[in-house]
Amino acid sequence: MEKLNGKKKINIAVFISGRGTNLKSILNLSKNKNSKYIVKLVICNNNNAKGLKIVKRNKIKFQTVNYEIKRKAENKILFSLKKNNIDLICLAGFMKILSKKFIKKYKNRILNIHPSLLPKYKGLNTHKKVILNKEKFTGCTVHIVNSKLDSGKIILQRKMKVLKNDNEKTLAKRLLIIENKVYPKAILKFISTNL
Ligand code: GRF
């Protein structure tokens, strides 16, 4: 934890692989003077991730990690997390699965956002499955990461109606706007009840 303006702030590391819209919304809230957290570090496994532009523009410390050998990649990340006194990890479109060992080291300190109403539709291609199953609702979930995929305790969930003419693309686009609102709120909720 860091003291900024005499107040304690939670140090967050955001893990990304791509676009980074959730990172952006997490970052935006942290710019608020009374924010309870700061984005201290961004970890990215993809040198070409669009999200890195946001990181550079905002002058956030970042590390790109080559994931060819997962064990080595995770050791590097763990080193940086320690060095930067990270209290909380937020996965935001991070396309690598963390090892059990890694998760154990940050037990109950890793959050993720998933584009479905968990426990429904864990894993990939959630929007496709929602359309195929003719669901009336979909949504997104921020949850704690445990060793089972998309299965940890739910922090916050938002429901969204599936419209008659929706396809995978329109669903993803509409849901992303909701995701971007929900993630920072979920972080604040998590901080106030757990940290
Ligand atoms: C989001 O849809 C999130 O739910 C999923 O990956 C996507 C990341 O989007 N886990 P972005 O990179 O934050 O724009």
Q: What is the pLDDT of residue 2?
A: 56
Which of 124, 160, 176, 187 should be mutated for ligand 1, with most atoms under 8 A from CB?
176
Q: What is the pLDDT of residue 22?
A: 98
Residues in the chain, pLDDT under 50: 4-5
pLDDT in tens, 121-164: 999 999 999 999 999 999 999 999 999 999 999 999 999 999 99
* 25 ligand 1 Cβ < 6 A: no
Q: What is the pLDDT of residue 4?
A: 47
Residue-wise DSSP of the chain: -EEETTEEEEEEEEEESS--HHHHHHHHHHTSTT-SEEEEEEEES-TT-THHHHHHHTT--EEE---SSHHHHHHHHHHHHHHTT--EEEESS--SPPPHHHHHHTTT-EEEEESS-TTSS-SS-HHHHHHHTT-SEEEEEEEE--SSTT-SPEEEEEEEEPPTT--HHHHHHHHHHHHHHHHHHHHHHHHHHH-
Output the CA 128–ligand 1 centroid distance in Å.
Answer: 15
